[in-house]
């Protein structure tokens, strides 16, 4: 069993391939583009990369609808390109984690093409099929995250099939042992190829309630979405039966047993359930996933109390596992816009990176966070995301966080010589990598300095965490190992604040993190707007 644990305390940089770097002028990023820009990623001081899906796909959900788990879509390149990418990343000291979408596949996958033909073919029971009710309506009241009922009629079988996401993403039937075996064989294909980890998309959706019981209604005042809008009918239910079933735990243990045959290959689960923190703790118990992350810090609530409460609830529940935190990804509004409420300064953007990287656990940073990119305003006529098209104008979808990385200030932002698949706003060109490289006080340089400094602080990578009482807007906690103890404090507001740390703490301020630092005098800690404070506790 692996013991090196590269992933523990790691900062993992998420790459969304469509929007990272295009090398052939078609306006869509590709694997050779990632290879070209890995030097930039390595310069940040991160430990590894997570690459969103690049497998063969009709792209109904931009790669999260996989038609062939073992090949690269020609849009992104070839298997040989992936092998070159893996070798280049490893030569730069970067681990490589890839997405695996196990709970569902594309309607164009050969498995589903066969399954939908009849009720008695070899793949007939590989997906979730059910008869209509006597009146012809769907088998139960389950809803799709992307809008509408979660069932689609198939005339060839005269049955409905389940799709928790798009109708083009049929759910696999994990109650069938052949499905579980085939799924693990696909994971093994990439582990054998040399990847260092797997980010498991929607991992709690693998199993469904075999009795197909209706989900109970949720009161209006509790319809708060995690990764989906509150006006989405999906928020109208408690999702007790269409995901997060107890049978999934045994499958996670099968998956872990497979990965334990390799040298330090990690599994990171994306978890969105009715109680995501409890599920994360359960899924990362001994013998299951190495790490789990949820949408709990991908919400609109930016307060010291909320962040503290979220972390403390997970810490209380997680007795054995290891958390992973993210404040931005390809599914939610960018953090500087979501939490900044108009403040998109370098001080704020770099503070957010420092905050998430100072919590106990590993971290996923989303491409563009190192630049402080705000959410792009994509007009309706340029929308690509089917989710946004369905819920426009109340919810504009996910395109605003998926626009291409600006490498320079040119028309194509150095991303492409063609027309980019999503428009690149002028505000992003002004924050390009080349522009920020020239400014010592840019978000990019602040993030580089901070991550380099973090790598010298064992307490921040692997230490425990306990929070210190502080009034809003101060978030304060102690990170500690047996040999080291740090006090960490953040002023989450745009105004200067004073705070009196607990008596008896002998504080030795630490420099070198490259952020806007507070200072202590007369027993009080003075924090500038968006300021931070790191001190060794004697």
| List 22, 65, 99, 201, catalytic entry | 201
Strand-pairing partners, residue 536, are 486, 508
- The whole-angstrom separation of Cα 78 and Cα 91 is 20
**Residue 470 DSSP code:** -
Place of tokens 């599920």: 279
| List 270, 282, 370, 375, catalytic entry | 270
| Structure token pair of residue 402 | 């998926």
Q: Are 486 and 510 in contact (CB under 8 A)?
A: yes
Instruction: Please state at what angle helix 276-283 crosses helix 304-317, rounded to 10 degrees.
Output: 40
Active site residue 437: no
**pLDDT tens digits in sequence order for the chain, 538 residues long:** 345 799 999 999 999 999 999 999 999 999 999 999 999 999 999 999 999 999 999 999 999 999 999 999 999 999 999 999 999 999 999 999 999 999 999 999 999 999 999 999 999 999 999 999 999 999 999 999 999 999 999 999 999 999 999 999 999 999 999 999 999 999 999 999 999 999 999 999 999 999 999 999 999 999 876 656 667 899 999 999 999 999 999 999 999 999 999 999 999 999 999 999 999 999 999 999 999 998 999 999 999 999 999 999 999 999 889 999 999 999 999 999 999 999 999 999 999 999 999 999 999 999 999 999 999 999 999 999 999 999 999 889 999 999 999 999 999 999 999 999 999 999 999 999 999 999 999 999 999 999 999 999 999 999 999 999 999 999 999 999 999 999 999 999 999 999 999 887 778 999 999 999 999 888 899 999 999 999 999 8
pLDDT for position 230 = 65
With b for 16 or more beta-carbon neighbours within 10 A and e for fewer, the 470-491 pattern comes to: beebbbbbbbbeeeebbbbbbb
DSSP secondary structure, 152-198, as one string: EEETTTTEEEE-SS-TTSPBB-TTSHHHHHHHHHHHHHHHHHT--EE
Q: CA-CA-CA-CA torsion for 344, 348, 349, 350, nearest 10 degrees?
A: 150
> How many residues does the structure list for the chain?
538
Active site residue 201: yes
- The whole-angstrom separation of Cα 488 and Cα 479 is 7
pTM for this prediction? 0.97
Burial classification of residue 77, based on how many CB atoms lie within 10 Å of its CB (0-12 exposed, 13-18 middle, 19 or more buried): buried
Contact residues for 516 (Cβ-Cβ < 8 A; gap 6+): 347, 351, 528, 529, 530, 531, 532
**Residue 410 DSSP code:** S
| Structure token pair of residue 498 | 């004073």
What domains does the chain contain, in order, with CATH numbers?
A: 11-107+175-453 (3.20.20.80), 463-537 (2.60.40.1180)
pLDDT for position 1 = 39
Q: Are 94 and 44 in contact (CB under 8 A)?
A: no
pLDDT for position 226 = 60
Residue 252, CA distances (Å) to 75, 106, 169, 433 in order: 32, 22, 22, 40
Instruction: Please state at what angle helix 79-91 crosses helix 31-43, rounded to 10 degrees.
Output: 10
Q: Are 86 and 193 in contact (CB under 8 A)?
A: yes
């Amino acid at each position: 069993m692996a013991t090196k644990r590269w992933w523990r305390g790691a900062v993992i940089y998420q790459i969304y391939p469509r929007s990272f770097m295009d090398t052939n002028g078609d306006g869509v990023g590709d694997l050779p583009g990632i290879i070209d820009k890995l030097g930039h990623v390595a310069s940040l001081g991160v430990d590894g990369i997570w690459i969103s899906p690049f497998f063969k796909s009709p792209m109904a959900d931009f790669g999260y609808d996989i038609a062939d788990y073992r090949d690269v879509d020609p849009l992104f390149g070839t298997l040989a390109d992936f092998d070159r990418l893996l070798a280049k990343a490893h030569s730069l000291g970067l681990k490589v984690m890839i997405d695996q979408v196990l709970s569902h596949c594309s309607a164009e996958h050969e498995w589903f093409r066969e399954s939908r033909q009849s009720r008695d073919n070899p793949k007939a029971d590989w997906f979730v099929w059910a008869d209509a009710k006597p009146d012809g309506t769907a088998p139960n009241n389950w809803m799709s995250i992307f809008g509408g009922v979660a069932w689609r009629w198939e005339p060839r079988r005269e049955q409905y099939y389940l799709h928790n996401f798009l109708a083009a993403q049929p759910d696999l039937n994990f109650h069938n042992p052949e499905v579980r075996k085939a799924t693990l064989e696909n994971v093994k294909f990439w582990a054998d190829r040399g990847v260092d980890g797997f980010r498991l998309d929607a991992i709690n959706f693998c199993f469904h309630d075999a009795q197909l019981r209706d989900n109970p209604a949720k009161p209006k005042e509790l319809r708060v979405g995690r990764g989906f809008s509150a006006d989405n009918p999906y928020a109208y239910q408690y999702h007790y039966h269409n995901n997060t079933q107890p049978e999934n735990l045994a499958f996670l243990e099968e998956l872990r047993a497979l990965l334990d045959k390799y040298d330090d290959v990690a599994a990171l689960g994306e978890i969105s359930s009715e109680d995501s923190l409890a599920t994360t703790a359960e899924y990362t118990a001994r013998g299951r996933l190495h790490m789990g992350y949820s949408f709990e810090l991908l919400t609109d609530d930016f307060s010291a109390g909320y962040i503290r409460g979220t972390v403390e609830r997970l810490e209380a529940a997680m007795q054995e596992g290891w958390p992973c935190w993210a404040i931005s990804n390809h599914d939610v509004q960018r953090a500087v816009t979501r939490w900044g409420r108009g403040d998109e300064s370098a001080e704020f953007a770099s503070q957010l990176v420092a905050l998430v990287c100072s919590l106990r656990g590993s971290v996923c940073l989303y491409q563009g966070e190192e630049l402080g990119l705000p959410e792009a305003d994509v007009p309706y006529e340029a929308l690509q995301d089917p989710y946004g098209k369905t819920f426009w104008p109340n919810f504009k979808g996910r395109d605003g966080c998926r626009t291409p990385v600006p490498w320079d200030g040119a028309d194509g932002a150095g991303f492409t010589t063609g027309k980019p698949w999503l428009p690149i706003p002028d505000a992003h060109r002004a924050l390009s990598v080349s522009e920020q490289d020239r400014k010592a006080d840019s978000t990019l340089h602040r993030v580089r300095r901070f991550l380099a400094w973090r790598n010298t602080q064992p307490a921040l990578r692997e230490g425990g965490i306990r929070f210190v009482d502080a009034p809003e807007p101060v978030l304060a906690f102690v990170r500690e190992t047996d040999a080291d103890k740090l006090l960490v404090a953040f002023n989450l507001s745009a105004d200067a604040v004073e705070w009196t740390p607990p008596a008896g703490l002998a504080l030795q301020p630490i420099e070198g993190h490259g952020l806007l630092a507070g200072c202590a005098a007369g027993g009080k800690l003075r924090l500038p707007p968006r300021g931070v404070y790191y001190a060794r506790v004697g």
